[in-house]
Structure 1
């Protein structure tokens, strides 16, 4: 039987797999319509006005950055690096592994290091509005952030300044029912060091704690009975007053003398929140998953219990600029999801 040359071509019988029901959007990416953009721009303007009034000047960093900026000496945790968007920037002969900006603080610290090398002032207050890109199974993978970074001011002054600025900004948006979770990255590291853990073991134990492994402190307490009280207090107890910090001091200093500095930092941060009339909770074991934090960390949250939402998060990262090859400088900062703020602002 010969084929009919005028017959219409036949479709292949193999069916293509169905497309996910997300239209023409990439997963985790979404459009922002006019009404939401009006709220976005209103919050952006109020953010820039608030921080400029406090002396913070806006900067902008590239969307595409070299991967090694974020892998340098543990700049980001292994868990965070697994979520970056990375590709080869190919010029036809060779290429460099680059990423879509996964974190705004690291890029700002690089900017500061370059500015100081070029003769800039050792103290700098900067602000940014920029998207960051992180893989997520659910939720947004492009997150528009606003934030501030303070370089060159030590914890005694810098932490209080940032906490006060965050509280003032959120209240200016009409956000009420605020609480703050306070923590200190150096406190747990000091306890681990006193328990005899080598630096690599400290990082491993710290990462397990960040991942929510409650058993890590029990295992360490059994192996190091002299540190049991301090370790269990750090992992299993939280407090809502400066009195809790004093209890930590009484329990820890005899066996973990290096905890004195972190406890002093927490005391000053708690005093700043008291002065701003913002209630707080001290969580001695930090919940942040970025490895560069070295001191006080904090989360401003709205609501209570399972319904609470984090609006601002940040902390101190004194070693970051030196890790990136720049001059060592004390530094701290905070960031917020602009679209989330637009949802809650009055």
Structure 2
């Protein structure tokens, strides 16, 4: 007998008992995005490798170490998308969505990075991403942050997350700062961790993102990017802060927040939590005004974010939101009444759209069927036996409280159930 085939390490199944929480999260995210007027765009999972090398940056960890890249039958180099922004820019430019237009777009789906699997970090992971194009002023930066703040409120996570904020300035600002930072770090090279030493000459801003305690100690006295900002970048950041203050969104300034992708400039932000250990970032983004031009388009201001669904699910598992059971009604079939049970189920689905109705199949005794009805999570079991069919009646047994069992006619059962299953306003 051959060995069983198992899933690839770091590419995980989401099982039926887990999916209701994912669906609950996704439903609320979609509602918030719709409330802000954002439109969904659906993007390919596979793109040309060049897109990510040019967009993300060839000296980033993602491109150097983490991408799933392969040659297809035409010997073209293709990559499973490690993030969504570059693909969204490619699609918007390719289909003419950016010419003299503003766009507010969002997408969701799996991303792929070859990383060490751990809690909240998988090799196949899922994101919701938002990208806006064509607006250069800080009000759109504020809007995408306000959107995320509203989502945390809808999910009951507002007290679990903290907004960290920084600005990377403009290209000239970063060039000046880079010189000062490299000069400082060279003086302390022997105290830096190995990754930071490697980044020092190639991508020195990433040293600011180091989690190594020794490197963090060195950075306490390093030059600050805030001291190298030009007037325009400073005014943009001050404008964003004023908008967030006016909206009552608290934040902390983190001068070492740089993000791991080369395309960011000016605003960068992260929503972090202390409830998930080392994997504390649940949402991150910022402004990337140069990326569209870098990928072949015209200069286009842009800002967006991505949020990891696995980490949000871990947070929600701790807060335990009350989820509706997927099945509200379970129809049992006692005796030779399976045909009538299936027909009753279809009639009720017509009368009660959106209500989960499961009809028992496969036979079995009364006790066995009632155990399955209870395990389904249903609020009501409909008991249909030969006597009920003959009398054109249905027995309705409440499963979640001590209410009395009802004997109803087939004509009135749908109305009786509808009155008790009416959705509560949210």
What TM-score, normalized to structure 2? 0.61
Inter-partner Cα distance in structure 1 for 2:276 and 2:100:
43
Aligned to 1:13: none
Tell me the equivalent position of 1:109. 89
Q: Which residue in the other structure is 1:87 paired with?
A: 70
Q: Is 1:48 paired with 2:30?
A: yes
2:392 is matched with none
| In structure 1, C-alpha distance between the alignment counterparts of 2:112 and 2:272, rounded to whole Å | 23
How many angstroms apart in 2 are the aligned matches of 1:143 and 1:205?
28
Q: Distance in 2 between matches of 1:339 and 1:152?
A: 31
Q: Tell which has more relative contact order, 1 or 2 (C-alpha 8 A, sep 6+).
A: 1
The answer as to whether partners of 1:190 and 1:259 remain within 8 angstroms in 2 is: no
The answer to which of 189-198 and 52-61 deviates more is 189-198
Distance apart, 1:54 and its partner CA: 0.7
Q: Specify the alignment match of 2:288 in structure 1.
A: 317
SS of equivalent to 1:35: coil
Q: Could you tell me how far apart the structure 2 residues matched to 1:308 and 1:207 are?
A: 17
Conserved? CA contact 1:182–1:266, under 8 Å: no
Cα pair distance change 1:210/1:191, threshold 3 Å: farther
Whole-angstrom distance in 1 between the partners of 2:256 and 2:66: 24
Which of residues 154, 162, 165 is equivalent to 1:182? 165
Q: CA deviation at 1:145?
A: 0.5
C-alpha contact (below 8 Å) 1:208/1:216 kept by paired residues: no
**Farther-moved stretch of structure 1 (302-311 vs 264-273):** 302-311
Q: CA deviation at 1:203?
A: 5.3
Q: Could you say what secondary structure the match of 2:158 adopts?
A: coil
The answer to whether residue 107 in structure 2 is matched with residue 128 in structure 1 is: yes
Q: CA, structure 1 residues 168+326, in 2 after alignment: closer, same or farther (shift >3 Å)?
A: same
SS of 2:110 mapped into structure 1? strand
Answer whether contact 1:77 1:290 (CA < 8 A) is retained. Answer: no
The answer to whether structure 1 residue 291 and structure 2 residue 248 are counterparts is no
Counterparts of 1:269-308 in structure 2, within 5 Å, are 269-303=240-274
- Measure the CA separation in 2 of the matches of 1:299 and 1:181: 5
With over 3 angstroms needed to count, the CA separation of the structure-2 counterparts of 1:77 and 1:276, relative to structure 1, is farther
Name the larger-Rg structure.
Answer: 2
- After superposition, residues 29-178 of structure 1 pair within 5 angstroms as 29-72=11-54, 75=57, 77-81=59-63, 82-90=65-73, 94-116=74-96, 122-139=101-118, 140-177=122-159, 178=161
Give the direction of change, closer, same or farther, for the CA distance of 1:121–1:131 in structure 2 (3 Å limit): farther
- d(CA) in 2 for partners of 1:194, 1:29: 41
In the other structure, the counterpart of 2:412 is none
Kept in 2: contact 1:179–1:278 (CA 8 A): no
Q: How much has 1:274 moved relative to structure 2?
A: 2.4
Q: Which secondary structure does the structure 2 equivalent of 1:232 belong to?
A: coil
Contact 2:55 2:291 in 1 (8 A): no
Residue 237 of structure 1 corresponds to none
Superposed CA deviations along residues 285-307 of structure 1, whole A, max 9, x for unmatched, are: 32411111112111112347957
Give the structure 2 partner of residue 261 of structure 1.
232
Instruction: Could you tell me which runs of 5 or more consecutive residues in structure 2 were left unpaired when the two chains were aligned.
Output: 184-198, 322-426
Q: 1:307 to 1:171 in 2, by over 3 A?
A: farther
TM-score, normalised via structure 1 length: 0.74
- Cα pair distance change 1:49/1:120, threshold 3 Å: farther
Q: Would the aligned equivalents of 1:185 and 1:297 in 2 still touch at CA under 8 Å? A: yes
1:192 and 2:177 equivalent?
Answer: yes
CA contact (8 A) 1:321 1:327 kept: yes
Q: Secondary structure at the residue paired with 2:129?
A: strand
**Of residues 290, 297, 306 in structure 2, which corresponds to 1:326?**
297
